[in-house]
Amino acid sequence: MKKSLLTVFVLTVISVSTLAQSIGSKFPNMEDKTIDNELLTTKKLKGKVVFYNFYFAFCQPCIAEKEGLKELYETYASDDVLFVSITFDNSEIIKQFQTTHGMRFKAISISLNEIARRFGVRQFPVNFLVGADGTIVMKKDGIESTDTANQEILAEFSPVIQSELQKLVSKK
C-alpha cells in the first residue's frame, strides 16, 4: 500500500511539474543570481521577452545549437529581449564555455535537482521563450539533428520572438 501511494505521489509531482512548463502557462518564479552576481527576479523580468536556454557544457546537442543561439542573441538582445542560460555547471566551467562559444547570455548556475524541481527540465538542451506577461509562448525540448540544430533554432524561434516584440511595441 505504501509503495502504491508513493508511486502515485511521484507520478503526480512529475505530471504537475511537466504541465506547469507547457505553452500558455506561467514560467516559474525566479529569484536567482547570475554568475556575475546580478539578481534576476520574476518582477524584474516582467514586461520583457525572455529566452531561457537550459544546457550543460559537455552536452553535444547543447553545443550543436550554440551558433544558432548566438545568432538569435545578436539579432534580438535588447532592453526588451533578454537571454538567460541556466545550467548545473559551476561558474568557472560556464565562463570557459561562454568564451569558447562566444556566448553572452546572462548565466545562472543551480543544481541539477533544482533545475528539475523548479523548471521541470530533465533533459538537455531545453529552450523556452517567455512573453512579456510571463507566459511560456514556445518550448523546444532537444534538437532534431546535430547537423541542423542551428537552423532549427533560428527557424523556429525567430518568428515567435518577432511576434512577441510586435506585441510589446503595440502596448507601449
Q: Where are the domains of the chain?
A: 2-171
In tens, the pLDDT along 124-160 reads 999 999 999 999 999 999 998 999 999 999 999 999 9
Match domain 2-171 to its CATH number in 3.40.30.10, 3.40.50.720, 3.40.50.620, 3.30.450.260: 3.40.30.10
Q: Is the pTM of this model over 0.85?
A: yes
Give the helix ranges, DSSP H, for the chain: 2-20, 42-45, 60-64, 66-76, 91-101, 112-119, 149-171
Residue 156: predicted pLDDT:
96
> Which residues of the chain fall short of a pLDDT of 50?
2-20
Residue 7: predicted pLDDT:
37
Residue 159: predicted pLDDT:
97
Residue 121: predicted pLDDT:
95
